[in-house]
Each structure stands twice: as structure tokens, then as C-alpha cells.
Amino acid sequence: MQRSDYLLSQLDVLEAESIHIIREVAAEFERPVLLFSGGKDSVVMLHLAKKAFWPAAIPFPVMHVDTGHNFPEVIEFRDRRVAELGVRLIVASVQESIDKGRVVEETGRWASRNRLQTTTLLDAIEEHRFDAAFGGARRDEEKARAKERVVSFRDEFGQWDPKNQRPELWNLYNTKIRPGEHVRVFPLSNWTELDVWDYIRREGLEIPSIYFAHTRRVFERDGLLLDDNPYANRGEDEPVFEAMVRYRTVGDMSCTGAVKSTAATLDEVIEEIAATRITERGQTRADDRTSEAAMEDRKKEGYF
């Protein structure tokens, strides 16, 4: 770093911006919570939260909306990471929402618990009276997300109204809400997928093992490589084969596709990401393929 110019790298600038957002929300809201899935983005977010308050502890709990269809490697990682940091973990269970009759399980080959998560998430926010929920979403992920605010208002039904968003200027965030309303906060809004990976490498962060190449029993559906597991509802016409794969995103085992890859180290993964010509959601998520507005529609209902 050239000291005379007071230069900061792009990762330093992004880190400073995210820490500012996290502190601002911790200062202005009474009951924030950080949504932690164990995926790479939430790993980075949790790391930034740790830095924001060091040497004090992170002043809010973390919450995982658990569909019950998660990869076991990710759940194992989640529990370990949370224990290392000494933060309180709240698990909001989609299975419980089903058992209570709050939601009805989808059926058929394309059944997924993806959409059901919204109800579980909103119920948990209401139950714990959370007024701000940090999410790891990035604007480069998806075009509806590109329009989302950093501090994004949700009404008493948890809904997002994309046409009536609060303008955000400079580094000032409007944090005014009424009881029953809440905000979603996206500290990684300005990060790209590659920034996240570069930061993971720079900070030496551990991520779940499924992000690296490994051998897995998979089958092909709609161009996605799905893990052969009971939640994926594999049909007789969908033959299983063994392949060298890794995951580019971490979601449900029912709808998250793997990509063929031999990238076994962080450097190899980053090299692969830098060269790829397909978006991470386009390559790996069945849930985003429903329509061009699939994400916008789910977000309006209160999805992550």
C-alpha cells in the first residue's frame, strides 16, 4: 500500500462499508438477528460482524431457517462455526411449520421446501420480535436484487414493495419502523461473487467442504446435477452416476445443483469462478428458473 496516496484496495473499501452498515443497524435497532445458512456469503457476513464489534462479542444472535433438507456437511459446519464464535444460534425449522400446519409440503418431482421457508422465517421474526434481519444477498446475484436497498423495509406482513422503496443516499440509512414491521439488511450488497471468494482467501476463512471438488452420486435434471438423496424425488428415468463435482451455492439438497469441477483448493475455485460464463444462480438453482420474475415474486412475499 502506498501510504502517501491513502489508497485502499477494493476489498478494504467493501469491508469498511459492510462494517459501517452492521454497526449502524446494531446501534439503531433493538433486536437484530443475523441469518446464517453456513453458505459462503453468510460466512463472510458473520466474519464481518465479528470484526465490527471486536473485542466485544457480536451483540445479536444468528438464525438459520432449516428446511431439514440441508447438506449434512453444511449443518456440521454451521454448528462448529457458531460454537467457535460463541454466538447464540436459533434454528427456525420448516419441518415444525409443516407439523403445525402453517405450510403444506409440496408434492411431485419438483417439490421443494424453498418457498416454504418464507413462512418459517416470518414466523420466527415475529416470535422473537426481531426488528432487523441481516442477510447475505448481493446485488450482482439477480436482477431483482440489483434494485434492493441495503436497509430494506418490510411491512407488518413481511412484504417487500419494490416500487415504494426508501431512497438511500451517501452512507445514511433510514432505520425508522413501527412495531411489527422490520427491515432486511444486506451488508454485502456491493460485493460480487468474486469479491466474496477473494475475501475468503484473503481472510483465510473456512467454508463447508462441499464448495470444493469431491466425488458424489448425482443425476441430471433440467441441466442441473442434483445429489441423489430422498428429497430430490429422483424418478426411474433419471439414472444415477458418479461425478467429480463441487457446489457453487449452498441451498437445499432438493433444488441446488452441483457443477462438474476438479477445483479442490481455494485458488483453483477462484480461477474457475473468474473464468465462468454463467451466473451462480443460473447454474445451480432450480428455484430461480420458474420465471424471469421468480426472485422478485418470492421477495415480495418476504423471502430472503
Contact residues for other proteins, defined by CB under 8 A: 1-3, 5-10, 12-17, 19-20, 23-24, 26-27, 51-57, 139-140, 142-147, 162-163, 165-172, 174, 176-178, 189-190, 192, 194-195, 276-279, 282-283, 292-293, 296
Minimum CB distance to other proteins, residue 98 (Å): 30
Name the residue nearer to other proteins (CB basis): 139 or 246.
139
Q: Which is nearer to other proteins, 27 or 240 (CB)?
A: 27
For residue 229, with 0-12 CB atoms within 10 Å meaning exposed, 13-18 middle and 19 or more buried, which class applies? middle
Cα–Cα distance measured from residue 133 to residue 182, given in angstroms and rounded to the nearest whole number: 8
Kindly report the number of other CB atoms within 10 A of residue 190's CB atom. 17
Our CA dihedral for 136, 137, 138, 144, rounded to 10 degrees, sits at -170
Specify the pairing of strand 214-221 against strand 241-247: antiparallel
Candidates 180, 185, 163, 65; CA nearest to 118 is 65
Q: Which is nearer to other proteins, 57 or 240 (CB)?
A: 57
Closest separation between CB of residue 6 and other proteins, Å?
5
Q: How far apart are CA 77 and CA 135, in angstroms?
A: 18
In whole angstroms, what separates CA 288 from the centre of its chain?
14
Judged by beta carbon, residue 23 or residue 102, the one nearer other proteins is: 23
Minimal distance, residue 20 CB to other proteins, in Å = 4
CB of 170 to other proteins, least distance (A): 5
Instruction: Give min distance, CB of 104 to other proteins, in A.
Output: 26
**C-beta of 134 vs 231, nearer to other proteins:** 134
